[in-house]
Each structure stands twice: as C-alpha cells, then as structure tokens.
Amino acid sequence: MTQQQEQVVAVRKNGDGDIVELKLTSGQVVDYQEAQHMAKNGQIAGVNVFRGRDGDEHLRSNADGDPSNNLDNLPGF
C-alpha cells in the first residue's frame, strides 16, 4: 500500500514572519523541522528542502509559476 502524500494547507508564522508550523491535509500540525524531514522522505507533496546562502536548510514550495500556493501565501491557522 502506498502512503498518501500530505500537502500543506496552512502555515503559522512567528512575530518575524517566519513559518514555524505547517498544517497538512490530514489536519496534522508539524513544526518546521518535522516538515523538512517529511519533505526529504517524500511524505509532503509540492515542497522541497534546499540549503540557503546562510548554510541552513529551508523548506519551499516547488516552483510551478503559481504564487498562490507558495508557503508564504498560504492561509494562517
């Protein structure tokens, strides 16, 4: 049985505007690091992990030309 991939449906940001938690299609809420781990394991669709110029790993939406589904533009919860 293949595991169904989750998708990010909403995000929670801190006072600096950084995403700290993500809400998935199942209703599960995961912190940013857990979401990165899940993305690396192919458990979340539509996102990827990359190493930024700061040397840290970051989570981002796959580029598809549609800004409405960028993580920063998703609704808050």
pLDDT digits (tens, 9 = 90+) for 42-77: 999 999 999 999 999 999 999 889 888 899 999 999
- CA pair distance 41, 3, nearest whole angstrom: 11
Q: 14 or 64: whose pLDDT is higher? A: 14
pTM (predicted TM-score): 0.88
- Structure token pair of residue 11: 């995000």
Nearest of 58, 65, 56, 61 to residue 44 by alpha carbon: 61
Please report the pLDDT score of residue 3 as a whole number.
62
Is the pLDDT at 2 greater than 90? The verdict is no
- CA pair distance 68, 50, nearest whole angstrom: 20
Average pLDDT, the chain: 94
